[in-house]
Structure 1
Amino acid sequence: MMKIRKNLSFILGALILFGLASCSEPNENGAIQENDPFAVVSEKMTFSVDTLFTDFENPWGMTWLPDGRMLVTERKGEILVFKDDKFTGEKLTGVPAVHEVNQAGLLDIAIHPDYANNGWIYLAYAKDMGEGGVLVISRAKLQGNALVDLEELIVNMPEWKGGRHFGTRIVFDKDNYLYYSNGDKGSRPQNAQELDNAHGKIHRIHDDGSIPSDNPFVDVEGAVTSIWTYGNRNPQGIIYDAENDRLWSVEHGPKGGDELNLIEKGKNYGWPEITYGIDYDGSIITEDTEKEGMEQPITYWVPSIATCGMTLVTSDKYPAWKGNILVAGLAGQQVARVELDGTSYVGEEKLLDGIGRVRQVSQSPDGFIYVITEATGLMVKLIPRN
């Protein structure tokens, strides 16, 4: 049986299990006092954790429709429908068949910035091709609970066996350019540093899949023309800062060396020529952490927290976090709250320590923060406390 919104005793048990409870309680005016088991006191603010759902398998992406419904993807090829923070019991039909192998499958989902007028929903997923799979960016429209008018916008070649390092996130900027990430497929050194393949890159296309004429490598012979940046190992998180017109990414490193990067046109982010990590077996990938012509991360994580999804806090509901970037940690089983001064790293705080492998953290249109996990299968909502 599906268990959706949990009662207070379950939330208390979850908070104790995850080490999130603090020793304070609200008075009659809502202020925090001692011995409240539901309050989580962070460095900058106090919040409670509302557990909304507990039955995900391998969730990946999430988005909200203008009517208030939330769509959450499962890597096996399902899209679950939520309304008013509750699972409706419905799943979308018409979802394209996916190549579900290892990290490949149905990945991110996003709506067009002008969805109210054009109705386009965008999907990132792996599909079968040849002896392996390829990352595809598609769009479709919604009729009831059915995806219709599916269009493949771009196929990221060549096909690859094994299902490793597919990325993938989708974001739009203020001009409705679509950016998406594609991992290097676990290949070293050729993919990420070479422009003749789509892997280990962040890409930029028009919302209809066509290639912008000002992309950095459109005039380079043999280059994949959608490439915006290269030398990216496995970027599983991208956000667009509309106020400052900035694109940020987090890159899942090897053993150590996860990166937060400011993504800028045509730049090389170094993988695998430079890295702050080592290989999973402890061997050295490279002795170099810097090279001329290769970008340095804004910050990096050693040991790795296995960065995944991310969001920029713009909501007035979390005034002390405004302008912070929240980064999902898979192996780290946390949300990292990263403070910045412009584009400079200031510091960070570990939130929800021990909650499970955090796949995505998102800010809803009404300004609340949602977190989804795999393994523990949770969706939780962070409620600011007075």
Structure 2
Amino acid sequence: MSSNKHYLPLVILAGAVSLWTACGPKEPAVEPIDETFATQTEKLLIKVDTLYDKLENPWGMTWLPDGRMLVTERKGEILIFKDDKFTGEKIQGLPAVHNVNQAGLLDITVHPKYAENGWIYISYAKNFEDSTAATTIMRFKLEGNTAVQQEDLITAGPAWKGGRHFGSRIIFDNEGYMYFSNGDKGNIPMNAQNLNNAHGKIHRVKDDGTIPSDNPFTDSLGNVSSIWTYGNRNPQGLIYDKANNRIWEVEHGPMGGDELNLIEKGKNYGWPVITYGQNYDGTPITDITEKEGMEQPKHYWVPSIATCGLTFVTSDKYPTWKGNILIGALAKQHIARVEMDGTTFKSEEKLLQDIGRVRQVAESPDGYIYAITEATGLLIKLLPIR
């Protein structure tokens, strides 16, 4: 395996291959000497190992209790890794997916009580008639490497043509409720304000896909009763802060206006009525950025970095990062380290600039940070150097 073509400007530091962020001294670039990157931020020195460099449009990752890591590829495959190495095996028997643009096989996670029930959850774009598709949550169990007992739990309809804005992330809270994100499908932004469809929303269901009785919107007026929040453009990042019982979300703006939001029951996050972005041709979407009854982001980006997957750092392995949010940037090709003071934005640092289009960042059960990139096809692991 070789990843030399992915190297960034480097400097030799104490025998390691290292890349310094803006907080460090500027040094002349040298040729890479092995298959690792490294970075230094504040007092934390990080060496970044390239574990695999042949991923094809990866999207999500999760870990099984036996230490195996599962990585999804949008075309419809799940790769199996063990001890940070690709085993050469993939999960068999998965459903066909609508592999168009941003649609396909998307996120993956395990049930919080996986050791007891064996359920694995995926989000995927399910094919319907007339070449339409909809974000669907499915669960299954493993028999060897085969997906068995497959159950489609909920479909975020109506089905839609094309492959834009499928959202897709799945999380569980401390009470065992499942949340998943679904984008507005792109060509009709006001989907996000319409409670009669599932698009442009964060949804909350039980682990079997049924609707909790205390969800904020009932179906008495045609509302989709799984909706937890609305006005979310294309939320491709969702993470649960277990210690503080908080849900964090990032969503793509159009040209500018990517958002970091604190997700709370029944709230309206404004898209497309309010936004800090504009149309891709430079024309305004709206002339307001605030409105009563609509939530403000905790932070936003102009220009867009194309926010994607994110993780909340809880590990003691990264002491100066603990409590920070790490966010993958597709367009700007880095990881954003966001420091919060409670729920208030404090600061941001760019890590690993030009590493590639970072689709997801995740913390493993043993406390290490991993990331996957598109185009460059990397699976990387961030190793603290004491």
Counterparts of 2:326 and 2:144, CA distance in 1: 33
CA distance 1:44–1:266, change in 2 (3 Å): farther
TM alignment of 1:195-210, pairs within 5 A: 195-210=195-210
Partner of 1:30: none
State whether residues 200 and 234 of structure 1, in contact with CA within 8 Å, keep that contact through their aligned partners in structure 2: yes
For 2:320, what is the secondary structure of its paired residue?
helix
Partner of 1:186: 186
Shift of residue 269, structure 1, vs aligned partner:
0.2
Partner of 2:308: 308
2:81 aligned with 1:82, yes or no? Answer: yes
For 1:319, what is the secondary structure of its paired residue?
coil
Counterparts of 2:124 and 2:38, CA distance in 1: 38
Shift of residue 97, structure 1, vs aligned partner:
0.8
Partner of 2:19: none
- Alignment root-mean-square deviation, CA: 1.6
Shift of residue 95, structure 1, vs aligned partner:
0.8
Shift of residue 23, structure 1, vs aligned partner:
4.6
Partner of 2:354: 354
Shift of residue 221, structure 1, vs aligned partner:
1.2
CA distance 1:106–1:295, change in 2 (3 Å): same
| TM-score normalised by structure 2 residue count | 0.93
State whether residues 189 and 233 of structure 2, in contact with CA within 8 Å, keep that contact through their aligned partners in structure 1: no
Partner of 2:321: 321
**Amino acid paired to 1:273:** V
Counterparts of 2:334 and 2:59, CA distance in 1: 16
State whether residues 138 and 150 of structure 1, in contact with CA within 8 Å, keep that contact through their aligned partners in structure 2: yes
Shift of residue 198, structure 1, vs aligned partner:
0.3
- Unmatched tracts of structure 2, length 5 or more: 17-24
TM alignment of 1:1-386, pairs within 5 A: 3=1, 14=6, 17-19=7-9, 21-25=10-14, 39-131=38-130, 132-218=132-218, 220-386=220-386
Shift of residue 226, structure 1, vs aligned partner:
0.1
Fraction of identical pairs, as percent: 67
State whether residues 339 and 346 of structure 2, in contact with CA within 8 Å, keep that contact through their aligned partners in structure 1: yes
**Amino acid paired to 2:295:** E
Q: Deviations over 1:265-316 (max 9, x none)?
A: 0000000000001111111111110011000000001110000000000001
Runs of at least 4 residues off by over 3 Å: 34-39
- Unmatched tracts of structure 1, length 5 or more: 28-33
343-352 vs 210-219, greater mean Cα deviation:
210-219
CA distance 1:44–1:188, change in 2 (3 Å): farther
Shift of residue 26, structure 1, vs aligned partner:
5.5
**Amino acid paired to 1:18:** L
Shift of residue 156, structure 1, vs aligned partner:
1.2
318-327 vs 212-221, greater mean Cα deviation:
212-221
Counterparts of 2:252 and 2:86, CA distance in 1: 30
Counterparts of 2:43 and 2:220, CA distance in 1: 48
**Amino acid paired to 1:246:** R
Counterparts of 1:360 and 1:114, CA distance in 2: 23
Shift of residue 190, structure 1, vs aligned partner:
2.8
State whether residues 39 and 351 of structure 2, in contact with CA within 8 Å, keep that contact through their aligned partners in structure 1: no
Shift of residue 188, structure 1, vs aligned partner:
3.0
For 1:134, what is the secondary structure of its paired residue?
strand
Counterparts of 2:318 and 2:166, CA distance in 1: 32
Q: Deviations over 1:63-122 (max 9, x none)?
A: 000000000000000000000000000010011110111110000000000000000000
State whether residues 184 and 191 of structure 2, in contact with CA within 8 Å, keep that contact through their aligned partners in structure 1: yes
Counterparts of 1:95 and 1:209, CA distance in 2: 19
State whether residues 188 and 272 of structure 1, in contact with CA within 8 Å, keep that contact through their aligned partners in structure 2: no
CA distance 1:208–1:167, change in 2 (3 Å): same
